Amino acid sequence: MEAFREKIPLEQLYIKRAKNGKINIKSGNKIDLVTKWTIAVLTLLTVLAFFFFDYTGLSLERAIPETWHNLKTMFLEPSLSHFSWGEAMYQIGVTVGLGVLATVIGAVIALFLSFMAAENLSKAWVSKTVRMVMAFIRAVPTVLWVLIFAIAAGLGSEAAVLGMLFHSIAYLVKAFSEAFEEVDNGILEAMRATGSNWWHIVTHGVLPSTFTYLLSWTFLRFEINFGVAVAMGAAAGAGGIGFELFMASGFYFDLREVGFITYAILIIAIVLEMASTRLKNRYFPASVRN
């Protein structure tokens, strides 16, 4: 039995008492079983889905060479045809601006709402109410929020920013509040014992301990909003590089221009990731973050 324990950790054992009183010990636990069955079911459904596709008119002999030719033209021969380099930089700036605007405003609003959503900083009924509202907002996809505001406010950048703002607030409230709840309760209790008020606890006990996480989550949401802004450039008429991508792919059918825009979006995404990493490493070294 001791050798058995040495080979398999106790938390990986699945222990079940039978009706006759005997105890059955199996390797693995319920979480492992649920995970394995979930993967198996999803794999089976994925395979079955291929049998329900409509393959009418599909010719693999033509589809594969044409797809390869289109990909080669798109990614190996990128060029601009319908707008200049200056216009391309301007449209990229518009897209980045939409993402920055939605992220900055959303982060500020989410910061104050997350104080109410955190269980260790507010009353239970306030925390549950805020969490329920934010869960409802998160359940609605960003694209749908943008389309809702596009109907209410009309097509344009306003609808795109409002739609991204709504979802950004709900996303960041969950992330920020969970970061606040990870703060050691001993620190909060010690500050309360010294007579610190709620705002003093937040500014001197909670925010200094979680600021790195807040920064990381904000940059992550900015990267998400940049991608959404690209898509919403066409869907909501917000303009930017997303609208040019829609025109090049659906209106002009210029594969070379599609390739150029795709590379531009990829480069901007890489630059944003590098800027985020350098900012955290410069102002929040690893020793401080840990």
Per-residue model confidence as pLDDT tens digits over 12-70:
555 555 555 555 555 556 777 888 899 999 999 999 988 888 777 777 788 888 889 88
What single letter denotes the amino acid at residue 38?
T
Average pLDDT for 93-101 = 89
> Taking Cα atoms as reference points, which of 207, 178, 203, 204 lies closest to residue 120?
178
The token pair at 200 is 């003093």
Q: What is the rounded distance in angstroms from the CA atom of residue 165 to the CA atom of residue 161?
A: 6
Question: What is the tens place of the pLDDT at every residue in 147-193?
Answer: 888 787 777 778 888 888 989 999 999 999 988 888 888 888 888 88
The predicted pLDDT at position 84 comes to 80
Helix (H) or strand (E) holding 103: helix 85-117
Higher pLDDT, 264 or 159: 264
The predicted pLDDT at position 19 comes to 54
The predicted pLDDT at position 237 comes to 67
Q: What is the rounded distance in angstroms from the CA atom of residue 279 to the CA atom of residue 241?
A: 26
pLDDT score of 286 more than 80? no
pLDDT band at 1 (very low <50, low <70, confident <90, very high): very low
The predicted pLDDT at position 288 comes to 40
The predicted pLDDT at position 3 comes to 46
pLDDT band at 107 (very low <50, low <70, confident <90, very high): very high
Which domains, ranges and CATH numbers included, belong to the chain?
2-52 (no CATH), 74-289 (1.10.3720.10)
The predicted pLDDT at position 32 comes to 78
Which of 66-80, 127-141, 238-252 has the lowest average pLDDT? 238-252
The token pair at 243 is 């609208």
pLDDT band at 133 (very low <50, low <70, confident <90, very high): very high
Average pLDDT across the chain, whole number: 81
The predicted pLDDT at position 21 comes to 55
The predicted pLDDT at position 20 comes to 53
Q: What is the rounded distance in angstroms from the CA atom of residue 157 to the CA atom of residue 238?
A: 4
The token pair at 26 is 């199996």
